[in-house]
Chain A
């Protein structure tokens, strides 16, 4: 390899071909370019001219240089230049690459892949054998193959198939596998580590050093792995927690809360303070949203570690407490509601209200105390709600004992049963162990809980099935019945301490928790049941179908389960029960690899800059140049010429159209061609022009008005007027128009200084601007302050408007074609202001005419050439007079003071008469 500064050449001998460039130069210069072919009618005149000048046109120098450059480019490209060739591998032995592909590698996986590619490029170039080892267990049941050497090409496919796993690496297993390996020559070993200590890092480094010199790559501090911890749930929200390798950098991250459907529910900023090894952020969500939460994740940080899956345990169910008679029931330490409130509030969203109020919103559980009298409507509403999945929990009491109603899981005997007390032989009863099929299964009945009084169920055949808890003497304490998708449960004692000690014990809270959980579908979770993997995370933290290696977990083991190939993190479900297995609890606090054996070189990813192969780029450039050269050749031979004008014009039009669409210009503007085409079109025929105000309606009226006037002028006079053009003084040439019609509207922006300069030049060189304030309809003459007049003042600031006078009776405008005394437009009246006649500049032609009568409105015609607007008041031949005034105006602008002598006719005649 030949190296020149940052450039290296893999095939340097190709550069010798550069010596051929002068020959190419000579050849290119000698050959004349192919002639253009031109079809030409007057060819007879050219016949004998052929031989007069024999110096053939040569290929232009710049084209020769272009072609030489092209050739040089191809030659250099074939020499396979490489930009910033990297360092070489040491020694001549094989290359060993060890990759940590556990969960922590996901964040910097691109860097790892780049590094692997780079290493494999080198190995391929130098023909070394490669061994690729991954530390994370793959999960396949087959025993891992004994590591062996392979060609870089084979290893590359394996390396590309490598992906981070959603569990921790097992370096210990790798150390074991390495024990039996011997290589033919000392290898160069690279360990692409994830930077986390797991207790075996030192051992692995030692084992690798036995194979050859070891380089350990770790992530740069800003890319160190992050680990989300399960959040803490409390009454008002979740606290998302995050841990990392302690670092001195402050890191700002964003925690996203997403629903089961992937929808973003909340987004909070989380700052990891310098030196801190973790951080937390509160996510406060409305109850309904919170219960939809399915995962928390760190935005833009891929990896299984940055995702926490949430299941029912983090949800707070809305629980309704039916407040019966206020007062006593709420009394502290005495009332039923007091105890229920204290027990439920920490883990549920507790609402109070009547049945109707509670049922208005989503509610999972309704708890009803004894002292609630239900009306039929409420009973029906509750029954329907239970059919839909609600859980109704009732407590017994004196009222129920006296008069059992129908909304009960079991039939009650009348009256209550008193256990113990002065009048009884029996003692207060305690709880028996909970039946296995009961939702309370697993709870330990407290011996301190004594039930002194209860209501009794009628013994029926199905009573044992309906019993969730019973006393030591076998009488049911809690009975329940499935109602549709929901439950109806009855606690046969009160929710206060009057009948039992139950509300005082922690068991009460646990039982309530189980009942509330029942509403979430955690029913029948038997410890032996196996939860099958439903959806699991991959190494990048994406939820997907579980891999084939994933197997189910027994329900009782899921709390202690650690993410592993058999149990990738994800959701495990059986029936309606769905539990999340998260990575974080089984991983522990991340800690950096501190200790490495002597001789191991530690470096960060990215130190190995990727060397760039330039050949494809150079060849692509050469190809582009060749295409350009081809185009130039075609152009030189005239093969592009024939169609070009059309195309350029179209392109210009398209570009103008796009530009207009972008700036949202009015459509009237779009009809006028732009730039040179505008000038050509404007100059070729006589046209009227109007100033584009930017107000669409006004411009449309101007255009229609001038079209109408042009038609009339063409019909009646020798002037042949083409279609009028809209003119933008900011950019269009004005000199092509003898007359510019300018309706003044407040919405128009005052012209820029450049436009003012051009307008002044236009006036100076004989142009006429006809300002129409269109205020006649507003009842204001020019002296008044109609909106158009105000706009006129704003727009003409800076214009060289000459001294104006009201039009004298004998002004040329009144005689230019028709003899006229008044000049109505859409409106009548109003004064026409013109330049003082005594100004001899510009042949006494008034460069500015100002009126108020909205003439364009009177001239305007629609597509059928019918007048578009009514004239006001419309008496007599007002529109005809308006047209006549327009014709006079056009004639005035075309002929100047030509008809001025008409003014003097009376005097001349008088003199002749003498």
Chain B
């Protein structure tokens, strides 16, 4: 085996060693949320029995459940629960700025993003949806193994320099996307790529992950700030003095992202790494579920 091959094999081993804990953690928090969200409760194409209902004129005769009808004078139609599989493309920002945490007690933004991504994926797979990593080059799948593949892809991606925004990729007309990142790039860049997806009829969700320090700028005195992505340096003489302005700007950025999302009928949420991961998970999951419902109204 060549040296490169050895290195690659070793790296794969290292990565796979970290997979189960991450997956387990993701599935654990996913489990807490799934208790709160029950099935689709809609009539639709599917295999699971949903309800019997009186036969109305216009119902296809094939749908009549003769066994049930024979028990009484009326004719009953068997309805099945709606089980439409949905393709959701997931993406998380793996750029250098995501590998930040302000204190050792917190996870980095990237860790939290990957945890959430996998948790959402776990929930979706459990609900029968198909998931794939945006930019991963794979087709969406709803198999259990897809979770492992996702986790592996994430782990491999950790070693690579990531980009602050996803590239464009055809995801199908009714595909859903979920972007998890810090979205600290200039808002015009975000708008450009988001608009491109929206133009193709794709709808999605932005989850902005911020470290608490990014929210509050808890520094003082004379500080030379350095970017994590070679953006340059900023020497602030008294950080206390600019804290208010910084807050304003951050709020403006968030408002801009929210407005952008609203314009294209996407959703937008902010999550801080010092909060439990269950919070955004519930929001994301309901958002994705509802969006699906809106998109495909049930046939009644």
Contacts and interface: CB of A to CB of B under 8 A. Distances in A.
A646 interface: yes
A638 B236 CA distance: 14
Contacts of A646: 104
A46 B104 contact: no
Interface residues of B, number: 45
A49 B109 CA distance: 25
A911 interface: no
B56 interface: no
B90 to A, nearest CB: 22
A899 B225 CA distance: 55
B222 A718 contact: no
A42 B214 contact: yes
Contact of A57 (B222, B224, B229, B234): B222
Contacts of A783: none
A301 to B, nearest CB: 60
B222 A35 contact: yes
A33 interface: yes
B222 A56 contact: yes
A643 B105 CA distance: 11
Given A49-B246, A720-B32, A38 B238 contact: no
B46 interface: no
Interface in B79-101: 97-98, 100
A49 B234 contact: yes
A38 B229 CA distance: 13
B60 interface: no
B228 interface: yes
B191 to A, nearest CB: 15
Interface string B44-56: 0000000000000
A38 B182 contact: no
Contacts of A638: 223
Interface residues of A, number: 36
A652 to B, nearest CB: 13
Contacts, number: 120
A914 interface: no
A32 interface: yes
A41 B237 contact: no
Interface in A34-75: 34-47, 49-50, 52-57
B185 to A, nearest CB: 8
B242 interface: yes
Given A36-B222, A38-B223, A43 B237 contact: no
B22 interface: no
A41 B228 contact: yes
B237 A54 contact: yes
B291 interface: no
A40 B217 CA distance: 9
Given A32-B222, A45-B250, A53 B231 contact: no
Interface string B191-228: 00000000000000000000101100001011111111
A45 B246 contact: yes
Given A49-B245, A684-B276, A645 B222 contact: no
A712 interface: no
B105 A49 contact: no
A45 B219 CA distance: 15
A131 interface: no
A52 B241 contact: yes
A38 B224 CA distance: 6
Nearest to A53: B241
Given A36-B223, A49-B242, A43 B232 contact: yes
B101 to A, nearest CB: 10
Given A49-B245, A646-B104, A684-B276, A42 B221 contact: no
Contact of A46 (B182, B221, B241, B242): B242
A34 to B, nearest CB: 8
A645 B103 contact: yes
Q: Report which residue of A39, A45, A52 has the largest number of chain B beta carbons within 10 angstroms of its beta carbon.
A: A45
Contact of A43 (B104, B221, B226): B226
Contacts of B211: 41
A587 interface: no
B287 interface: no
A41 B226 contact: no
Q: Report which residue of A34, A40, A44 has the largest number of chain B beta carbons within 10 angstroms of its beta carbon.
A: A40
B237 A46 contact: no
Contact of B97 (A35, A41, A649): A41
Nearest to A42: B214
B221 A645 contact: no
A39 B97 CA distance: 10
Contacts of A450: none
Interface string B94-128: 00011010011100010000000000000000000
14 contacts: A35-B224, A36-B222, A40-B228, A41-B214, A44-B185, A45-B184, A47-B232, A49-B242, A54-B237, A56-B222, A56-B238, A645-B103, A649-B104, A718-B35
Leading 7 A-B pairs by shortest Cβ distance: A41-B97, A53-B241, A718-B35, A43-B227, A35-B224, A57-B222, A35-B222
Given A57-B221, A718-B35, 15 more contacts: A36-B223, A37-B224, A38-B226, A39-B225, A43-B226, A43-B231, A45-B184, A45-B250, A52-B242, A54-B237, A57-B238, A680-B105, A685-B276, A718-B36, A720-B278
